Structures are given as C-alpha cells and as structure tokens.
Structure 1
Amino acid sequence: MNVLPLSWFAIVRLGLVQTGLGAVVVLTTSTLNRVMVVELAMPAMLPGALVAIHYAWQAFRPAWGHGSDQGTRRTPWLVGGMAVLSSGGFLAACATALMASHAALGIALAIVAFCLIGAGVGAAGTTLLVLLAKRTDEQRRAAAGTIVWVMMIAGFIVTTATAGHLLDPFSPSRLVAVSGGVSLIAMLLTIIGVWGVEPRAVAAVVTSTALPATTSLRAAVREVWREKQARRFALFVFVSMLAYSAQDLILEPFAGVVFGYSPGATTQLSSVQHVGTLLGMTLVPVIGALYPRSRGHLQNWSVAGCLTSALALLALSAASLLGPSWPLRETVFALGLCNGAYAVAAIGSMMALVGAGSARREGVRMGIWGAAQAFAFGTGGFLGTLASDAAHALLREPPLAYASVFAVEAGLFVVAAMMAVWVHRAGTRPRADGTVLDVAKAAMVGG
C-alpha cells in the first residue's frame, strides 16, 4: 500500500498548528519580556533566563525526532505538545502578573511555565516538521516548509497587532485575559489543522516501513553527525540563529527606554518587524518564479539575507545614538525584511537537505537542526539581555549600550554569511563528466 503525499490543502492546514504555536510563543518572548523589564523594573536577565530555560528543554528534539522515525503516530504529539504549550503560555502571563505583588512566587511560577512552553514547542514543532518532511513530495518540501513558516509569522503579526491594541491601557488582569484568549485560539487552530491529516491506516503503513525498534537514539545521532553537510548545516543554523535571536528580547525594551514607547506601542513595533519578515519570506519565492534561474541558489539567498540583516542591525545601532529623530519603525521593518529573506533560504535548505543523507533518518536530522536552533535562540536571547545589562552598567548611557549590542549582533550575521558558503560546498559532489553537482540545488529544482 502506497502512502499518498500531503496535498497543498493538507500542508496549509498543518500550517495552522505553526500559526497557533507562533501566537503563544511571541506573546511570551516579546510582550511578557517587556512588561518584566519596563513595567516591573526587573533586570533584563530575568526574561532572558526564562526564555533560555524554555529553549534548554528543546535539547530533547533529536529524541522526539527519533521517535517519529520509529514510526509512532504523530497526531497525539502535535495535539499534546500544543496543549502543554498553551497551558505554559497562560501560566507565564499569570506568573508575570503575580510578580507585581509577590516577586519570588511569581518568578518560581514563571520557571515552571517556561519549562512547559519549552516542552510543548519541542514536541509539537519537531513532530510537525518531521510529518511534513516524510509525507511531502521531495519537489514540494521546500515550498511546504516556507508555507508553514509564513503562517507562523502570520501568527506573530496578528497576535502582536491585536494584543497591542487590547493591552492598552495596561493592567495585569488585562494581560492574563489576552494570554488566555490566545492559548484557546491556538488549541482550536491545532485541532482544525491536524483533523484527518494522519488517518490510522496511514500511520500503520508508516509504522510498517519504519526502522527497527532496536535502533538506539545514540547510534542514530552519531550516524547523522558523521554526515559532513548535516553537521555543517547544524553549525550554520546555530551561528545565524544566534545573530537572529540576540535582538529579540531587547528590541521592545530598547523602544521603551530610548524612544519612550508604551507597552502597546512596542508590541505593535514587533508586529511591524514580523510584517517585514513575512514580506521577505514571500518575496524570495516570487523572485524565484519570475527568474527561474535563481530558484535553486540557496547559498546566494542565505548570504544576501545574512549580510543585509547585518546592515539593518547597524542601522538600529545608529538609531540608538540618534534617538527619536531616527525612523525606527522603518528600520525595524527593514530588519524583518532581511531576516525573512535569510530565513526562507535556510528553511529551503533544511527541507531540501533533510532527506539528502542516510535513509529514514529525517526525524533525527531535523531534531539535531531544531536543537541547534533552540540552543542558539536560548543562548542568543540570554546573551543579548546579559550584554544589554553589562553595557548599561559599564557605559552608563542606555543609547550607547544598545548601540554596542546591536553592532555585535551585526558582526555575527557577517560570520553566518561566510558559513553559508561553507555549508553548501559540503553538498557538492563530482559528476562522471568532471563537473560538480550541488545536491541541495538539485533537490530544490527537482534535478
């Protein structure tokens, strides 16, 4: 019995899971972060450490991917993971509100909440990507990954824009109510997204063709790590995502401190950034359709996206020094646009390369890359806030402190651009006629 690949409609429906996931996560990493730092006057390292905790839990992504490779049914992982995530997101908002009157108790509750968020994101996110990779035609994989990520960014945009309006005038009870509504909507989108996508008959076929249950996780991870391109891509993901995420937790506090933005205004500023990211992610496929020769050049898009992101961060550094006279919203939009171009190239590479190594290791391979991304986000978020606190302590001037941190992040993106070339060189192999075949490009164009 042949397993039918996912239709475009099924891919879009699965994207609703990522939309709900993004909606819960963006509220915890942007809005709650800003409330802790500005309204509650907590050190920036507190939300940085909490976000790092939630990313630390995602070190288990290879294990969840390995479980998927063994043939277990994935729908329960998706629904269960989203239930844990939604509960954690709501609990995090309650903890933040509690910090205003009982700081120690609120922080303790927040630690529990962010552990739930990390476990939920890791379980649902990894399983979703494995399902896409294993049930999508090779020619559609890159497009499927892009669709799902675009829908996640759409969740960011709708959530930050709507929450920005609902949170003004700000109050802790209003924050809890908005968070609860977002969590309920996320669960509803998840149920709609997975309904009927993975019938039990299909799960039985997948199980019958899976790896033997005796295959150990350690052996599977070791096998994938020996693949040169998979290993290099994991390192590229780590460095580039480190640069991508280091500004995530300081952008809203920066806008509040230097530009005097309110909580609602800074949340809407995040929405502007996500609109730019969405446009950047959709612009690359459009250019690929208009100019087919550019469709498979993932290396070029990766390098260009990283370098232009570095320029946008340098512009933010200048904005820190020049203050309210600088066009902040336009700069943040440009940063999102450049990040989107980089992200869609990285996603295209990931979906194209996930099946390029040893057979039936898609889940482990995706898990390793997901763990690298999570570790980078956790490290980047914490180091960004730590650098912000350190720069404030040493330089005594908030604008100068933020300018220095943004400049360092720009340098990381330059390093990531060089690594993008390094990754794709590992995927070339000589043909019989002496020419060189780019494996990733061939997978992208169906060659």
Structure 2
Amino acid sequence: MKIGSFHIGSSFVDLLTSGVLNRILISDLNIWAAPVALLSALRYLLAPLSIWAGYRSDTRPIFGFHRLPYIWGGRIPMVLSLPLLPIITVMLAANPRSILAWSLAVFSFLIYGVGTLLSGSTFLALVRDSAPPEKRGQAMSIVQTFLVISFPIAGVVYGLMMPVYDPATFWQIVLFGMGIATMAFFFSLLGEEQRHGTIVADAPSEQLPFRTLLREMWGDRRTRLFFLFLALGATSAFAQDAVLEPFGGDVFGLSVGETTRFNAYWGTGVVLSLIGTVIYTRNRQAHEQTGTTMIGLILTSIPLALLGVIAITEAEAMLIPVLFAFGLGFGIYTVGAVSLLMAMTSDHRAGAYLGLWTVAQLLFRGLGIFLGGLIRDLGLITTGSLNIAYGLVFFLEAIGLAICVILVYKVDVPGFARQTRTSVPSASFAAAAE
C-alpha cells in the first residue's frame, strides 16, 4: 500500500494534462480538437521507450540502484513540465495560432511523455522486485487499484477548485497537483530499493536478438490476432479521452468543474466492476477469461453507443448514468483482457511478450486519442453540427469494440497457454494503469 501511493501522484498530474487542459483548450478557448488530441497522444506514440527503459534498469544500475534512478529520472521532468501548462493556455487565448505557444506545448508534452515512459515500466519492475513470486499478482493489484481510485478523487478535487476556467485558478491547481504528486512520489519510493540489489533474469532466452524474438513471436497467428485485438481495443476504448470533457461543455454548456467530474462518474464504475469481477472470477485460470473479456467488451460498447445517442438528442438526463455504465463495462473488460494478456505470455519469453503487448496498448491508445479529436473535427467540418461530430466519435468506438469481440474469440488463448505451459494467476488489476 505504501508503494501504491505512488499512483496518487500519478493521477493528480495525469488529469491535468489529459482532462483539465483538453477541456480548457477545446471548449473554453475554442481550439480545434485534433491538435489538442495529438498533444495528448504524444507520450503514447513514444511507447517503445518503455521497453528500452526497462531493459536499461535490468542491466545498467546507477549508483548501485537498478530502478530508483530511472523512476526519478522520469518523474522529476514530468513534474517540472507542468508549470508550462497555464502559460500555454494564456498564450493560446491571446493568439490561437501562436507558433511559440504551440512549440511550448509540444515541448511540455514531449518532456512529460518521455518522463512517463522512462519511469512507468521501471516503477512496475520495482513493484515486481518488492514482492515474492507468489505474491506479485496481489502486489500489482493493490498498486494499480490506487491509480483507479485516485483518478475520480483527483477529478472531484480539481472540479471543486476550478468550477469555471480562470487563468489564476488554473495556476493554483497546477501548483497544487505538483505538490501532491511530489509528496506522494517521495513517500512511496522511500526505502523501496536496496543499493547494489541483484536483478535475477527469469528468462535467459531474453538475451536473444530482439529481431529474432520478434520474428518467432509474430510467426504465430494467435500472436498476430491478439496484437490486433489489443490494438483495436485500445484505439476504440480511448478515442473519447481528449474529447469527453469538451463534449460536456460544447453540447450541454457544462462548466469546467462539472465536466472534470466526468472522470469521477465513470471511474467509480470502473472501481466497482474491477473489484466485483476479480472476486467473481477469482477461481478461474487466466486463459479461461475469454468469456469475461467478451462480456466486458459488449458492456463497454453499449454505453458508448448510448453516448452517441445522447450527443445527437441532447438527452442530458442520461449522461451521468451512461458514463457510470461505461465505467462498469470497462472494468470488466480490463480484468478479462489483463488475464488473457498474462495467458498470452510464454514463460520463456515473458519480457518480450509483455513488451509487445505494452507497445500494442500504448501506441494504439495514443492513436485512438488523436483519432478521436480528428474525427470530431472532420465531423464538425462536414456536418456543421457539434452534436453529430461528437456522436460520430462515440458510435465508431462502439463499433470497434464490437469487432474486438470477434477477434478475441478467434485468438484461441487456451491453446496458446497449453502450448507454452504458461501458469499465471487469474484476474488482476494490472492493466488498469496505462
């Protein structure tokens, strides 16, 4: 639980860049969604850095520490990039086409993204190192639960602090978020790694050349289908990430504070369904979770389709219940997908497979975020209607997740698990994070 408090800081800084800023730029300053979404997607498009950082932390200790230097080497630049956000909003409010403002925005998000990727995988490795093998699943579950719970809390706090956009108040919540994050990081990491600790490789075969491993993995049809499932699922599930809060402002005229609480509504649903699904499926093996994943996909796609209806009909009374339902479905989908991801990992190629699945999720999550903004803008240009533009994003997400149901059914996860003799715990919260 101590090391899990790290994610309290993660949620408070992440929401500033992925939620509050997007709403201000798109809805309050009337800037096109596509460039704003591309800013949010930058860190995910740099996802291969996470594999490199994890490899370096395994093999290149700094001052006798394997993990902590890489974690702090990422988190410190992340936090220090945040004061640029209120400066950027003021500059873009004065001139939305300011090259200097957009250059600062790209610089800020690149620093933030690189910091996230350098520290994210190495932090998860630290969590893994801190627990005995039989308890690593439980340790990861506790740590990631902190992240899932902290996001709704951060959304409520920021919403109360800035119910309506104001540059001075935005400065205050940025400084507040930086303070919370710094304290959480220090508390969680203090004493969590011993100097000159030894990292034991679980899979000597990981030392094979990366291209050889990649060809070997990619030659399996099940690997290709599962990669496609993860990629399409990440694209479809996160396409609304940059436009959900602007949707509340543009279609219903809601304030910044009200739209920031969207994260609390669907985040609460995620927490409840995560816990409930893990308890209900606790006796299942990881490779037996295909049905859970399919149910989660369906229960996530239906609320997204309903959001499309809400956007077109302006049925505001349905908005909060549907956001909560979206969270419920997403939590079930997460538990199922994480279990399958574990089952689709060979014992002797664990690092390579997990790296491949991480890249699939992060790269295509970033692509989805960008596409969500682009589709919104193209829809607005084509139809002249914000309602239809946002509805189009939600409808396409629902279709993508429905296709994922077919893909995951065709993968044959049990066959892969039997062939590779993978033995892993059942459902975990692990993928609720990034």
Alignment partners' CA distance in 2, 1:400 and 1:124 = 39
Alignment partners' CA distance in 2, 1:351 and 1:178 = 38
Q: TM-score, normalised by structure 2?
A: 0.87
Instruction: Indicate whether 1:405 and 2:396 are aligned.
Output: no
Instruction: Indicate whether 1:395 and 2:383 are aligned.
Output: yes
Deviation sequence 1:299-331 (CA, Å, 0-9, x none):
122111111101111111111122144421111
The residue number in structure 2 matching 1:288 is: 281
The residue number in structure 1 matching 2:166 is: 171
Q: Is contact 2:18-2:242 (8 Å) kept?
A: yes
Q: TM-score, normalised by structure 1?
A: 0.85
Instruction: Indicate whether 1:114 and 2:109 are aligned.
Output: yes
Match of 1:273 among 256, 262, 266: 266
Mean CA deviation greater in 304-313 or 321-330: 321-330
Mean CA deviation greater in 416-425 or 277-286: 416-425
The residue number in structure 1 matching 2:424 is: 443
Give the superposition deviation at 1:238. 1.4
Instruction: Indicate whether 1:63 and 2:22 are aligned.
Output: no
Alignment partners' CA distance in 1, 2:249 and 2:182 = 32
Q: Where in structure 2 are the equivalents of 1:314-333 lying within 5 Å? A: 314-333=305-324
Give the superposition deviation at 1:340. 1.3
Alignment partners' CA distance in 2, 1:240 and 1:209 = 29
Give the superposition deviation at 1:48. 0.9
Give the superposition deviation at 1:148. 2.6
Match of 2:23 among 29, 34, 40: 34
Q: Where in structure 2 are the equivalents of 1:173-188 lying within 5 Å? A: 173-188=168-183
Give the superposition deviation at 1:132. 3.6
The residue number in structure 1 matching 2:143 is: 148
Give the superposition deviation at 1:60. 1.7
Match of 1:131 among 116, 123, 126: 126
Question: Letter of the aligned partner of 1:318 in structure 2?
Answer: V
After superposition, the Cα gap between the structure-2 partners of 1:348 and 1:186, relative to the gap in structure 1 and judged at 3 Å, is farther
The residue number in structure 2 matching 1:6 is: none
Instruction: Indicate whether 1:99 and 2:92 are aligned.
Output: yes
Alignment partners' CA distance in 1, 2:44 and 2:417 = 35
Equivalent residue pairs, number: 421
The residue number in structure 1 matching 2:67 is: 74
Q: Is contact 2:287-2:417 (8 Å) kept?
A: no
Give the superposition deviation at 1:264. 0.8
After superposition, the Cα gap between the structure-2 partners of 1:369 and 1:214, relative to the gap in structure 1 and judged at 3 Å, is closer
Question: Letter of the aligned partner of 1:70 in structure 2?
Answer: T
The SS at the match of 1:197 is coil
After superposition, the Cα gap between the structure-2 partners of 1:234 and 1:213, relative to the gap in structure 1 and judged at 3 Å, is closer
Q: Where in structure 2 are the equivalents of 1:213-252 lying within 5 Å? A: 217-219=210-212, 221=214, 225=218, 232-252=225-245
The residue number in structure 1 matching 2:403 is: 415
Give the superposition deviation at 1:428. 3.7
Q: Is contact 1:224-1:357 (8 Å) kept?
A: no
The SS at the match of 2:94 is coil
Alignment partners' CA distance in 1, 2:160 and 2:266 = 17
The residue number in structure 2 matching 1:20 is: 9
Q: Is contact 2:28-2:165 (8 Å) kept?
A: no
Question: Letter of the aligned partner of 2:236 in structure 1?
Answer: A
Give the superposition deviation at 1:215. 6.0
Q: Is contact 1:255-1:261 (8 Å) kept?
A: yes
Match of 1:373 among 337, 361, 364: 361
Alignment partners' CA distance in 1, 2:396 and 2:11 = 27
Alignment partners' CA distance in 1, 2:426 and 2:313 = 46
Question: Letter of the aligned partner of 1:17 in structure 2?
Answer: F
Deviation sequence 1:367-405 (CA, Å, 0-9, x none):
332222221111101111111111111122222222222
After superposition, the Cα gap between the structure-2 partners of 1:286 and 1:129, relative to the gap in structure 1 and judged at 3 Å, is same
Instruction: Indicate whether 1:348 and 2:348 are aligned.
Output: no
Mean CA deviation greater in 118-127 or 52-61: 52-61
Give the superposition deviation at 1:231. 5.0
Give ranges in structure 2 of 5+ residues lacking alignment.
Answer: 428-434
Question: Letter of the aligned partner of 2:123 in structure 1?
Answer: L
Q: Is contact 2:37-2:370 (8 Å) kept?
A: yes
Match of 2:184 among 179, 189, 195: 189
Give the superposition deviation at 1:101. 2.5
Instruction: Indicate whether 1:83 and 2:64 are aligned.
Output: no
Q: Is contact 1:276-1:336 (8 Å) kept?
A: yes
Seq. identity, %: 25
Alignment partners' CA distance in 1, 2:60 and 2:339 = 25
Give the superposition deviation at 1:144. 3.4
Give the superposition deviation at 1:348. 3.3
Q: CA RMSD in A?
A: 2.9
After superposition, the Cα gap between the structure-2 partners of 1:366 and 1:20, relative to the gap in structure 1 and judged at 3 Å, is farther
Deviation sequence 1:45-88 (CA, Å, 0-9, x none):
12111112222222322212322443640111122211122222
Deviation sequence 1:223-268 (CA, Å, 0-9, x none):
6555666554433221111111101111111111111111111001
The residue number in structure 2 matching 1:4 is: none
Deviation sequence 1:123-158 (CA, Å, 0-9, x none):
111112233445545544443333332211222111
Match of 2:251 among 245, 258, 264: 258
After superposition, the Cα gap between the structure-2 partners of 1:233 and 1:86, relative to the gap in structure 1 and judged at 3 Å, is farther
Give ranges in structure 1 of 5+ residues lacking alignment.
Answer: 1-11, 431-436
Alignment partners' CA distance in 1, 2:16 and 2:271 = 18
Match of 2:194 among 194, 199, 223: 199
Q: Is contact 1:60-1:371 (8 Å) kept?
A: no
Q: Is contact 1:65-1:367 (8 Å) kept?
A: no
The residue number in structure 1 matching 2:330 is: 339
Mean CA deviation greater in 19-28 or 384-393: 19-28
Alignment partners' CA distance in 2, 1:217 and 1:172 = 48
Give the superposition deviation at 1:344. 2.3
Alignment partners' CA distance in 2, 1:256 and 1:64 = 39
Give the superposition deviation at 1:413. 0.5
